[in-house]
Amino acid sequence: MTRRKAVAMNSIFSNGKSRFGEDKMYSRENFAYESVQAFDDPYIKAGEMGAHWQPKTDIIEDAEGYSIFLELPGYSKEFVEISVNPVVLKVSGHRIEEAREDLQIHLRESSPGSFERAFKLPDNIDISAVEAKLEDGVLTIRLPKQKDKRPKKIQIR
């Protein structure tokens, strides 16, 4: 397997830890099964896996919840979608670039296209209060913790 394919596969399959740091059972057999399933997926065209771009992402936690930051330079909010359920947060989008015949491109390291990311959520997220904003090329998603599942400090008497 080439390095490019390995990187592409790492971007679409879990690495054995959730994006929120909780360990989960994950075996080589599961990875092999999911790898085969991906190649059998009729929606993935030959050679397409290596072409997927994934935005750089940071996830932080505080006492009130989690924040996810995705770098999306050149994307507008009209072309970015976010969906959430109690288990998974999905973010997808595409960028369209106008064709201009009066320009000669000398270097292109960013290109129009699409992306999709999925994050396994911990079970303490209040999905009814999730908020998002796209500002200065950074998508910020705020995932508040459920009030009754936040850590509670106990006074010792």
Cα separation of the two ends of the chain: 61
| Cα–Cα dist 62/39, whole Å | 38
| CATH class given for the domain over 54-157 | mainly beta
- Single-letter code of the amino acid located at 95: R
Structure confidence at residue 104 (pLDDT): 84
Which of 72, 50, 69, 51 is CA-nearest to residue 59? 69
Q: What are phi and psi of 82, to 5 degrees?
A: -130, 130
Structure confidence at residue 22 (pLDDT): 45
Rg of the chain's alpha carbons, rounded to an integer?
Answer: 19
Per-residue pLDDT of the chain (157 residues; tens, 9 = 90+): 444 444 443 433 444 444 454 434 444 444 444 444 444 444 444 334 444 678 999 999 999 999 999 999 889 999 999 999 999 999 999 988 777 888 888 887 776 788 999 999 998 999 999 999 999 999 999 999 998 876 778 889 8
Structure confidence at residue 52 (pLDDT): 66
**Domain extent listing, the chain:** 1-52, 54-157
Structure confidence at residue 107 (pLDDT): 82
Burial of 51 (0-12, 13-18, 19+ CB in 10 A): exposed
Q: What are phi and psi of 32, to 5 degrees?
A: -60, -45
Residue spans of beta strands (DSSP E) within 1-157: 57-61, 65-71, 80-84, 88-95, 113-120, 131-135, 138-144
Q: Tokens in use for 87?
A: 């288990």
Structure confidence at residue 120 (pLDDT): 92
Which of 149, 85, 81, 77 is CA-nearest to residue 115? 81
